[in-house]
A = this chain, B = another copy of it.
């Protein structure tokens, strides 16, 4: 996967999940350092309707498998402590 492409794709995500993958909003999860494969599974679940959320479903709707792989690799690569 392409972490740099994931980073540029993540501009929209940062609004809720934070610029360093640490969310500012208690209901929204931190993504920094999360398991890459877990992230792929969850974003696909939101995209394909297996997991439903009013905010995430539309966010994931337009993503390709490549986008999802890159975004997941990017967030997995971030420092879990957000430094």
Contacts and interface: CB of A to CB of B under 8 A. Distances in A.
Given A51-B51, A80-B81, A81-B81, A35 B41 contact: no
Interface residues of A, number: 22
Contacts of A50: 52
A55 interface: no
A31 to B, nearest CB: 10
Interface in A1-45: 23, 25-30, 32-38, 41
25 contacts: A23-B38, A25-B35, A26-B35, A26-B37, A26-B38, A27-B35, A27-B38, A27-B41, A28-B38, A29-B34, A29-B35, A29-B38, A30-B33, A30-B34, A30-B35, A32-B80, A33-B80, A33-B81, A50-B52, A51-B51, A79-B81, A80-B80, A80-B81, A80-B82, A81-B81
